[in-house]
């Protein structure tokens, strides 16, 4: 499973377009909801299969948020604060130089995801 796609199907195009049109990360279930408007008989399994194949092919990227997989157009990079108390994720304006990291590690990279671990302000103010 999660193999590289060899045939360009209508279902794959619908899924790709939905992820590309979105402004923010989208879940498989949300893609499914939107896809059914254009293609009412598409199945959830097909949505998952195509999302995973698009990730393998490098056209979109994914990341787990809590228990669910989220999908983004293109390879991307981001930084989050992950609160160990409430578990919430906060976007943090911090950028890493992917070029620098690629040079130092000798790897060819598409993007990164930096998860900073700590306690958010709201939880800290409750001084648990």
* Cα atoms in the Cβ-side hemisphere of radius 13 Å centred on 32: 12
Q: Is 8 exposed, middle or buried (0-12, 13-18, 19+ CB in 10 A)?
A: exposed
If binding is defined by CB under 8 A, does position 50 make contact with a second copy? no
Site string for Mn ion, 73-102 (x = CB under 5 A): --------------x---------------
Strand order across the beta sheet in which 26-27 lies? 26-27, 68-73, 60-65
Residues 87, 55 contacting (CB under 8 angstroms): no
- Residue from the set 8, 24, 40, 104 that interacts with a second copy by CB under 8 A: 104
- Residue from the set 20, 85, 88, 122 that interacts with a second copy by CB under 8 A: 85
**Residues binding a second copy (CB under 8 A):** 2, 4, 55-56, 58, 61, 63-64, 75, 81, 84-85, 87, 92-94, 96, 101, 104-105, 107-119, 124, 128
């Amino acid at each position: 499973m999660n193999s590289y796609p060899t045939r360009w199907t209508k279902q794959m195009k619908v899924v790709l377009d939905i992820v590309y049109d979105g402004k923010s990360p989208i879940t498989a279930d949300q893609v499914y909801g939107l896809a059914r408007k254009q293609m009412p008989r598409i199945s959830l399994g097909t949505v998952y299969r195509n999302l995973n194949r698009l990730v393998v092919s490098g056209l979109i990227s994914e990341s787990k948020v809590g228990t669910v997989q989220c999908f983004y157009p293109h390879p991307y990079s981001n930084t989050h604060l992950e609160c160990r108390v409430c578990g919430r994720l906060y976007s943090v304006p911090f950028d890493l130089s992917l070029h620098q990291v690629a040079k130092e590690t000798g790897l060819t990279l598409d993007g990164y995801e930096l998860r900073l671990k700590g306690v958010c302000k709201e939880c800290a103010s409750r001084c648990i």
